[in-house]
């Protein structure tokens, strides 16, 4: 079979690579062309365009790069027509992917969506396009099945979360070797995950670093995003109690004692590594006011959304300040709090469906063409 896969972000590259490995294992004659990144390229197939050329975030940036975006859409359609795939597999990235799906449906190509757009958080009206254009939807969060099937009468497959595979299948990190290679001392590590975009990092990292002098018995390590240069972070490295490690977030989380994490997928990754965390979010006042009105969720972290209760503490906007961060981090480091949180993390992993999301999704995609 011929598969065309479109992933437009780093997380999509990770999940796309694991899906590709399973497709190639179950369908040895598979031909795959894809939009993605280095991990997908290592898995096999032919890279059409790298996700680093596609990442336009925010209204202003999208408007400024509209010509490029429209050009990419046109190029994608032409490449699909030339390749003539049996199925297109979309991985999240809805702004781009939903436009391709609408076009592909009209010309008779099967559309399978792996990792649903988060329409339960905002832009719920996208359900109309999904029901019209998507032949099969594979969801990775347990509450998404009820959202689609009970609320919108659209059948989906819950396959489990691919992060579990990505984390379980990676080589184990040796703590002592990690500390030695990265110039760390013997103190326990508190990981700082401030996000991936410059504006976000600058705002969140300054809040995180405001408490480090209150915890001299720990060393703080910043998880540098692969999309940012070290030179950007240098302005924050003003004390030997703060260290910086680039593009090794999973290694860092696997040896961390606790973490301060900016809201996003990293909150779930941290939980799956069984690292106690405090979740932080602070945006500019206007953006926050807009988001508060558009997004009507009880929680901002995936951990709490999946568990449908507050498992990890969320400090949002005005609550995200030195006093509260200090208090919640101190609480997190106490044995009783840690034990209770780790027990909830085990329940979280059970809810996510365990191992095998990529294998199951590949099997369902292939079997759908045998029926």
Q: What global pTM score does this model have?
A: 0.83
The predicted pLDDT at position 57 comes to 47
pLDDT single digits (tens) 152-167:
999 999 999 999 988 9
Rounded to whole angstroms, the Cα distance separating 159 from 354 reads 9
Q: Which residues contact 343 (CB under 8 A, 6 or more apart)?
A: none
pLDDT at 273 over 60: yes
Bridge partners of 281, per DSSP, are 316
pLDDT tens, residue by residue, 35-72: 999 999 999 999 999 987 765 444 444 455 666 778 88
Confidence of residue 287 (pLDDT cuts 50, 70, 90): low
Whole-number Cα distances in Å, 11 to 15, 21, 23: 6, 16, 18
Is the CB of residue 294 less than 8 Å from the CB of residue 286? Answer: no
DSSP helix/strand/coil, 253: helix
Residue 185, exposed/middle/buried by CB under 10 A (0-12, 13-18, 19+)? Answer: exposed
**Alpha helices (H) in 7-141, listed in sequence order:** 10-26, 38-43, 59-64, 66-83, 94-106, 127-133
Residues 132 and 263 in one domain: no
Same domain (yes/no): 325, 224: yes
User: What is the domain extent for residue 10?
Assistant: 2-160+356-367
Is the CB of residue 307 less than 8 Å from the CB of residue 351? yes
Contact call for residues 219 and 187 (beta carbons, < 8 A):
yes
* Shared domain check, 186 and 140: no
Distance, C-alpha 273 to centroid of its chain:
14
For residues 121 and 194, state if they share a domain: no
Bridge partner residues of 112 (DSSP): 89, 136
* CATH code of 140's domain: 3.40.50.2000
Smallest Cα–Cα separation from 72: which of 53, 59, 57, 58? 53
10 Å CB burial of residue 110 (0-12, 13-18, 19+) is middle
Q: Are 12 and 132 contained in the same domain?
A: yes
CA atoms within 13 A on the CB side of 109: 25
**Per-residue pLDDT tens over the stretch 72-112:** 899 999 999 999 999 999 998 998 999 999 999 999 999 99
Does residue 261 sit in the same domain as residue 297? yes
**Could you give the CA distance from residue 341 to residue 339 in angstroms, rounded to a whole number?**
5
CA 130, CA 28: separation in Å to the nearest integer? 30
> Are 254 and 343 members of one domain?
yes
Asked if 18 and 165 count as a contact pair (C-beta separation under 8 A), the reply is yes
* 284 pLDDT above the threshold of 80: no
Mean pLDDT of the 199-225 span: 93
Whether 138 and 230 map to the same domain: the answer is no
CA 46 to chain centre: 24
CA dist., res. 326 & res. 241, Å (int): 16
Is pLDDT above 70 for 195? yes
**Contact by Cβ (8 Å): 81, 48:** no
Backbone angles phi, psi at 352, to 5 degrees: -80, -5
> 102-116, 134-148, 206-220, 296-310 — which is least confidently predicted?
296-310
Q: Are residues 260 and 115 in the same domain?
A: no
Residues 68 and 9 in one domain: yes
Residues 146 and 215 in one domain: no
Percentage of the chain modeled with pLDDT above 70? 92
The domain tally of the chain equals: 2
Residues 89 and 196 in one domain: no
């Amino acid at each position: 079979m011929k598969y065309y896969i479109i992933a437009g972000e780093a997380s999509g590259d990770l999940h796309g690579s694991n899906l590709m490995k399973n497709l190639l294992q179950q369908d040895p004659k598979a031909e795959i062309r894809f939009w993605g990144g280095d991990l997908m390229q290592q898995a096999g197939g032919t890279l059409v365009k790298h996700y680093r050329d596609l990442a336009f975030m925010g209204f202003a940036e999208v408007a400024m790069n509209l010509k490029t975006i429209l050009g990419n859409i046109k190029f994608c359609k032409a490449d699909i027509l030339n390749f003539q795939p049996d199925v297109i597999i979309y991985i999240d990235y809805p702004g781009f992917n939903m436009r391709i799906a609408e076009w592909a449906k009209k010309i008779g190509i099967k559309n399978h969506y792996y990792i649903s757009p988060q329409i339960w958080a905002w832009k719920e009206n996208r359900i109309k396009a999904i029901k019209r254009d998507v032949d099969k939807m594979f969801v990775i969060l347990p509450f998404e099945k009820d959202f689609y099937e009970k609320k919108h009468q659209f059948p989906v497959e819950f396959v489990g979360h691919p992060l579990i595979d990505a984390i379980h299948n990676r080589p184990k990190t040796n703590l002592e070797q990690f500390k030695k290679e990265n110039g760390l001392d013997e103190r326990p590590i508190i990981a700082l995950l401030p996000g991936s975009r410059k504006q976000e990092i600058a705002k969140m990292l300054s809040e995180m670093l405001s408490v480090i002098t209150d915890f001299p018995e720990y060393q703080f390590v910043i998880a540098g995003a692969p999309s940012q240069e070290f030179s950007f972070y240098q302005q924050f490295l003003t004390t030997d109690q703060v260290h910086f490690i680039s593009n090794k977030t999973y290694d860092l989380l696997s040896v961390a004692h606790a973490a301060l994490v900016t809201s996003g997928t990293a909150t779930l990754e941290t939980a799956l590594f069984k690292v106690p965390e405090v979740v932080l979010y602070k945006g500019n006042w206007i953006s926050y006011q807009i988001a508060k009105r558009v997004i009507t969720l009880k929680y901002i972290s995936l951990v709490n959304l999946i568990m449908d209760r507050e498992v990890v503490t969320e400090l949002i906007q005005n609550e995200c300040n030195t006093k509260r961060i200090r208090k919640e981090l101190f609480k997190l480091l106490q044995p009783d709090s840690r034990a209770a949180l780790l027990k909830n993390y085990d329940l979280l992993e059970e809810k996510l469906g365990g191992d095998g999301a990529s294998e199951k999704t590949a099997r369902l995609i292939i079997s759908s063409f045998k029926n």
